[in-house]
Amino acid sequence: MMVMMILMVMMMVMMVMMMMMMMVIMMMMVMMMMVMMMILMMMMVMMMMVMMMMMILMVMMMMMMMVKMMVVMMMMMMMVMMVMMMILMVMMMMMMMMMVMMVMMMMMMMVKMMVVMVMMVMMMMML
């Protein structure tokens, strides 16, 4: 009887621990998502700003009708775009990494659960 009681308590504790872990993982995931969203928003805004600037510059150039200046501006634009793309790529990579990390965590959790279950079964068998 006593052994049974202990087993039950152990089970309870394990379950609670699992729940806690799951909760933490979920929270982490949500946080990651939030961060990613924020970054994406920032990117969008930056892009918009750049576009606006380019537009204004273009209009100015048109007014001035300076071909040389136009070419220079084009070059500048290209550079800016390249930088933006690079940043975006990096962000994507980060996102991917985060996802992988999360998956790994989940896997670890599963393994832990399995081990616990096996332990429980063994104990029962002993009984």
| Tens digit of each residue's pLDDT (9 = 90 or more) over 49-108 | 777 777 777 777 666 666 666 677 677 777 777 777 777 777 777 777 777 777 777 777
Strand spans (E) along the chain: none
Using CA atoms, how far apart are residues 87 and 84, in angstroms rounded to an integer?
5
The predicted structure's pLDDT at residue 70: 66
Helix pair angle (2-64, 67-126), 10° resolution: 180
pLDDT mean over 29-55: 76
How much is the pLDDT for 61? 67
What confidence score (pLDDT) does residue 65 get?
64
Distance between CA 45 and CA 49 in Å, rounded? 6
Q: Give the pLDDT score at 67.
A: 66
User: What pLDDT band is residue 42 in, cutting at 50, 70 and 90?
Assistant: confident
**76 φ, ψ (degrees, to nearest 5):** -55, -45
